[in-house]
Structure 1
Amino acid sequence: MQAPTRSLVLWFPDWPITAFAHEAVSPPTPDAAVAVFANNIVVACSWAARAQGVRRGQKRRDAQALCPTLQVVPADPVRDARAFAPVVARVEEHAPGVQVVRPGLCALKARGPARYYGGELEAARTLLRLLDDDGFSDVRASVADGVFTAEQAARSARADAPVRIVEPGDAGAFLAPLSVATLDDDEFGSLLSRLGVHTLGELAALPVERVRERFGARGVRLHALSGGLDSQPVQPRTPPPELHRDVAFEPPLELADQIAFGMRVAAEEFIARLGAHDLVCTELRVVLTGERAERSERVWLHPGSFDAAAVVDRVRWQLAEDAQGIFGSGVAGVHIEPEAVDAAAHHAKGLFGAGPDERVHHALSRVQAMLGHRAVVTPVIGGGRWLAERQVNVPWGDRAVTAKDRARPWPGSLPDPLPATVYPEPRLVGVTDIAGASVTVGERDVLSAPPAVLETAGQRRRIREWAGPWPISERGWDPLRARRAHRFQVVDADGGAWLLVVEEGEWRAEGRYD
């Protein structure tokens, strides 16, 4: 078995909270109680939330019962990794060869930085001072034999003593009193507890042959970790290419045409840099920064791949849609980076010219570039209770409403088959009984009389068959926006089928089954 590598670990406590605060439009205050949830389980929480009893592994309802003011944030691994990438790049400027264990935890071989900075302790302190200058003040560092031991040492460091050094050969003694839960293997740890093995020292004292017979290769690996014999070396990452571009305006600009003109060269360089790596951008992140630290951020999609002109168009469109309500002054800077890339070979033009789909795409994109982002839209079916709500116009190139959005519970929504004709504004109609009195629906969803006549556009139609009522109730908790209505399906004497809605005694036709 390979001897453990002397490793230096940097641990950022509660990194999901830090990543959220870094990218939030309105970041929480330092003393705000915030918790990140995955599957309604707490995965990270701020110190203010912990002060009120919130802990990792708690259910959402228990955490909110302990802390009613808790701000709930959904887990986002992509956000955590994206926010951690520039931090790792900053560390690599002073200590190359960084391995990202996971967002919020990175490791590197201790030998190089220790020789350069004059010792392991001084190397760790230097990196902490560097991170503190960048705004990361609560970082812990450690040096030990192996990444696993170094991680546990970093977690045991205190805020007043953020660096902990485990001397060579002392890893086993340091790990011995720790719980088997630190192995981060719930199934294995639970089984060991039932067998009477509660600490890493007790696990390391077991004969390795017996562990292999009972648990196999996984058990041998965890047995070695518990004894401080982490054989996995530090595996430095390959730094990704710098594909983003930043443009600063001094003085800040207020006119969209000026900003778009200033972005042309940067957009061309951005596309050229992607092309040098045989890549194309299919999703683009644009961040606008104002003179007073205002921030507008959006991810733009493209039905094909971005070129320089399309990048400039997205910057202009974002200025037109967002800047009026966000920026009280000029735009000081623009940041563009690829959110998603694809191999350039997948977007190469055909040998014998473009197909009809490609020609349609170019025509629609050209019209959109001339008239604006929302000038070309694609109709899709969305979710909702009312038929008009389910007709969603998505700007060309944006992500359409997914099937998951349509499949969400919509109590009161109309099941298939849906009417072929849907009126954008429901048409006023009349429904009367055989005596000519208007039909109404009581509080208990009981009809005043069976529907007999349908009046539409001045024509009286005898109702041959009808079904209903089916109640629709929305926002009952809000007296100002509460809405309650009833749906009916009727068939007139000519065979025409109608979808009707009665609300507050008024009948309207929502659609027709043609």
Structure 2
Amino acid sequence: MAAPITEPVASAAGRVLALWCPDWPATAAAIAGDLPPQHPIAVVHANRVIACSAPARGAGVRRGMRKRQAQSACPEMTVMTTDDHRDGRVFEPVVTVVADLVPVVEVLRPGLLVVPSGNATRYFGGEEVLAEKLIDAVAASGVEVQVGVADELFTAVLAARQGSHVTPGEDAAYLAGRPIADLAIEPSLSDPTRMELVDLLRRLGISTIGAFADMSVRDVATRFSADAVVAHRLANAVPGRPPSGQLATADLVIEHLCDPPIDRVDSAAFLGRRLADELARRLAAASAACTRLTVEAVTERGQRHARTWRCAQPLTPEATADRIRWQLEGWLTGGRAGAEDRPDSPISMLRLEPIEVAAAGTLQYSLSGNGLPDDPEVGERARRSLVRVQGLLGGDAVQLPIPSGGRRPGDRITMVALGDERIPARDPDAPWPGRLPQPTPAVLLDTPIQLLDLTGQPVEVTARGGFTTEPTTVRMERNGTERGSWELRWWAGPWPTGIDDTADGVIACAQVLLDDSRALLLRYRARTWVVEGVYE
């Protein structure tokens, strides 16, 4: 193993302090609903719990539970649907409280922000003192918060989840013993595909961040994805930003004079959408993408209100518009902070300033999200692309798979046209005795083949569900011409799955491993074998 990456130890001036509000979607829902802290509450998305309060967890509610299961565990619990705008609006007073103590604040997402602790530490007399003051100030507004301090932003965010203070220069040692899943625990700092990397590393026996950090950079870069290199840098406690980061130019800054001035949330949201689209056009023209953005509002009387937003993935127009709305809605309504923190007059100017941009050529967008709703922007981007394709090719040309019921792998997926109601052809929760167990083939086919024995004779399935002779070869023919022949290294089955009344024979399936390491699922019906699926 090569030695881990090393860089000069960060000084206290470059330290980062992270503030994390546990279960923020549930906390924001309780604040918006004016519910007492001891009242159990859960936030659901797609009929599953994505966040719950401490009283709800005490009653047995857990993330990932179905809504009905959670309600049976805690009948008195209030259930609310997820609302990103509510989360952002309610978080604005918390940011205001922190900004009163530490002027430079970066919001990673509603419920999580970071501040540079250097100057503030010297002013307040130590990192512990600063952390205590921030906790007390936020707690006074009725919000629970945990603080973490470390050299690097990623380490500080993980430390905040445990309320830890990492000694200067000890980030790598702090990360070494943490589970590998922590690389993807915070969606605002990870690629949407990071969880796939974590699952792969687990299967390879790498269970801790330290074990991953001990791998050489060359091995990581050649064997895994580009995001794995970024994760490897985080594991070694070096800056997590990719080398493509660059300073924004003045041409990307947008200043809009509001005429008439804005004093309503809906007007601010509409303008924010327009400015977000304009910023996206300027970034596209410059072949760049924004990863840190400052949104500043100025009132007619000169009062200023600015927030800096940091994202792991480049900001899309929708994400930019959402952040403008969250910030201005929280400021215009005052939130829980009181009327004294509202603007002293209507907003006369909005300014969008990209603080950090990356070359667009170094970025690769994913077409799907990574589960509960870690990256809804990616899913929305994919949906809009599919709608455009559907408009070009017709309504039935774009179809989406939904889980269905059945015994065959192909029966367990129902294809539904985009925009239609997602109703499966068969009940997926029915017992379906005799269905193929997991894992399911990754690729479904319906390709005729011949299953032969050692003498070249066809292998069939008897009425009692066994092979007539031992199979040794799989041969594929097309139009009477042999397309390929493969020896079997291993086989299992056959397993009878039914009776074919039309052909007076048995229906069965078998699994085989070819000499080129491909694994196939075969199906036997009407005295004919077909490749029904390929395992990957």
TM bucket by the smaller chain? 0.3 to 0.5
Q: TM-score, normalised by structure 1?
A: 0.45
Higher normalized contact order (CA 8 Å, seq sep 6+, divided by chain length) = 2
Question: Which structure is larger by alpha-carbon Rg, 1 or 2?
Answer: 1
